[in-house]
Amino acid sequence: MSIAYDTFIPSVLASALPVEPIGDKIIPIPEITNHGAKTDTNPSYTQDYGKGVYSDTHNTVDYVYSGVYIINTLTPNDSEGHIFNFGTFSDDVSINAYVWNATNEVQTLSSKTFIGDTSNIDINYDTITLKPTQEILVTITASADGDPIIDGTVTSNYTTTATPIKVQGSRVLVWIFEQNKEKSDSFEFLTNISQAYDREYRTALREVPSFKANRSYQLIDQEGYALLNEYARKSFKSKYSFPLWEKSKYFYKELTIGTTAIDYEEIYNESFEDSLNILIYKDNRNYEVVQIDNISGDTINLRAEVKNYYDRFQIVPLYSGFVKNISIQNINKYSTFDVQIITNQIPKENGNIPFTTYNNLYVNDWIYTEEQSREVTQDTNIITSGMGLFDISENRFYNNDIFGIQHIIDTTLLEDFKAFIFDCNGQQKPFWLLSRKDEFEFLGFNGTNYSQILIDSYTTATGFNDAHIYFLDAEGNYHFRKVTNIDNTANYNFTLTLDTALASDISVVQTGFMLLVRLNSDIVTIEDISSRTHKVNLSCLRLHREEKEL
């Protein structure tokens, strides 16, 4: 029997046929003719997916097959075989597939076999009968509940053949505990530093920092502890979606089933963006995960319909990560536990760096500076002998001059400060610190030359060589200048020449040195003091050579 090519073969296989020519050797087929139209074939299919013979006669092709095929509708010509990859998901997902009976017999499903990590994977039929050459559309589903890793084989067993497919994917579980105690966030950058005798060279090795979140919770009922016990059992191999409760938005109104849009009632999209996964949450029994399609004005448009009804709710941004450790104290009804979360997904920040600039670098003039410290060490080699000290050799021209700073930050300014931390990119980019020590007293100008000032100094004249200094006026404005010359150095009364003149009527209330520094660590941690205030400790290394070159 000769059957027309386009009648016999389903359309999804028109460009890639699982055909093996007669004989022991596979012969590549560059093209075959189908009613005058040329169709390329893919000779990379092997006999695992069917056998056949062909003959080109009067623009038709005769086939003899013995197989049933399940073909991914997304990648019907996948030369690697029938692989169904669900990707990473936190809600039920599905992939459509064609089941094609490529035999001349009726094929009836007898059973389905699941091998490997295939928990809660299914094909949406229990019984199926396929006529010869019949093709039907089915759905392969993976539910959100189940083991975190999907990596196995599903085999559908028909009358004369078995049809295996590969399934892969990763479930993301929702870390549903509400934030009710303190937290800290650590951002870990990665910088390569090459040290020379009098300077250093810095290269950032990571585009964005890794993010470690330390969260502390208090459990007030046995239900919460039972949930924690379940999470602790599987947390170290599971990927989770962690709600950012501090960025959530409350709604005291209804949300109905089938809704595809949420109105803010006010402009409040700082924490949300297109394609972001969000949690619609009422309590730890009533919630679901949806994805934002786009944000238009004050409306969040969703990619899928809301599945549940809520009389009130909040929406919470989600980020994905892994649990590194869980520490549980006082294991009873009122347990507390700490958890460390690791992720490379950085929560969206919309802060504006709050600092002014000088020489295109930010000046850290944060008002809420709790304390400052300083440590000076030498980088030397000390060679000793049996008689005692023998020699000292310097590895660096400048001492290691490290400043410690503790900032107190209000919640409303937290994202602004994070923007500054991200701009520093760890140890890579330097910034300015203000000494705030009044190292010299401003006495006035040298006549009408407003670029020359008279000072009474508490330090030696050499301390002003190529120094950068600042003046704080009575209105709270900073003025930054570089010293280009020093005269009249008797009795600590100096005349300094500045690179730019000051205003003739300036009223100076504070003076000091400007210090060019970089972060001395690639790790920056922001801790909660309360729900409204936060603390960050910065260790900063002074860059003497670069400072003088600016």
Give per-residue pLDDT as tens, 238-262: 778 888 888 888 888 999 999 999 9
Residue in 145, 347, 345, 324 with CA at minimum distance from that of residue 245: 347
The CA distance from 223 to 186, in Å, is 30
At 419, give phi and psi (nearest 5°). Answer: -60, -40
- Confirm if 282 and 271 have CB atoms less than 8 A apart: no
Amino acid found at 98: Y
The pLDDT score that the predictor gives to residue 334 is 65
Please say if the pLDDT value at position 495 is more than 80: yes
C-alpha separations of 82 from 10, 69, 129, 156, 255 in Å:
16, 9, 21, 13, 40
Average pLDDT over residues 120-126: 85
Please say if the pLDDT value at position 503 is more than 90: yes
The pLDDT score that the predictor gives to residue 56 is 32
DSSP letters of 183-206? EEEEEE--EEEEE-SS-EEEEE--
CB atoms within 10 A of CB 493: 13
The CA distance from 250 to 311, in Å, is 12
Q: Given the DSSP bridges, would you call strands 400-410 and 369-377 parallel, antiparallel or unpaired? A: antiparallel
Per-residue b or e along 82-112, where b marks 16 or more CB atoms closer than 10 Å to that residue's CB? bebebeebbbebebebbbbbbbeeebebeee
Average pLDDT over residues 366-388: 64
3-state secondary structure of 149: strand
pLDDT confidence tier of residue 337, bands split at 50, 70 and 90: confident
CA atoms within 13 A on the CB side of 548: 10
The pLDDT score that the predictor gives to residue 363 is 94
When mean pLDDT is compared across 157-161, 163-167, 262-266, 525-529, the lowest value belongs to: 262-266
The CA distance from 449 to 455, in Å, is 14
What are the residues whose beta carbons fall under 8 Å from the beta carbon of 515, sequence distance 6 or more? Answer: 403, 432, 433, 434, 435, 542, 547
Residue in 165, 137, 109 with CA at minimum distance from that of residue 10: 137
Residue in 119, 35, 102 with CA at minimum distance from that of residue 67: 102
Q: Given the DSSP bridges, would you call strands 183-188 and 523-528 parallel, antiparallel or unpaired? A: antiparallel
pTM for this prediction: 0.66
The position carrying tokens 């399940």 is 70
Q: Which residues pair with 16 in a beta bridge?
A: none
Q: Which CATH class is domain 69-171?
A: mainly beta
Domain(s) of CATH 2.60.40.10: residues in the chain: 69-171
* Burial class of 244 by CB neighbour count within 10 A (0 to 12, 13 to 18, 19+): middle
Per the rule left: phi > 0, alpha: psi between -120 and 50, beta: everything else, 144 is: alpha
The CA distance from 230 to 219, in Å, is 14
The CA distance from 418 to 534, in Å, is 12
Residue in 168, 425, 213 with CA at minimum distance from that of residue 317: 213
| Cα angle for residues 506, 432, 535 (degrees, 5° grid) | 110
What are the residues whose beta carbons fall under 8 Å from the beta carbon of 535, sequence distance 6 or more? Answer: 370, 406, 407, 408, 409, 526, 527, 528, 529
When mean pLDDT is compared across 267-271, 415-419, 431-435, 493-497, the lowest value belongs to: 267-271
Residues 326/327/329/331 CA torsion (nearest 10 deg):
40
Please say if the pLDDT value at position 537 is more than 50: yes
The pLDDT score that the predictor gives to residue 313 is 94
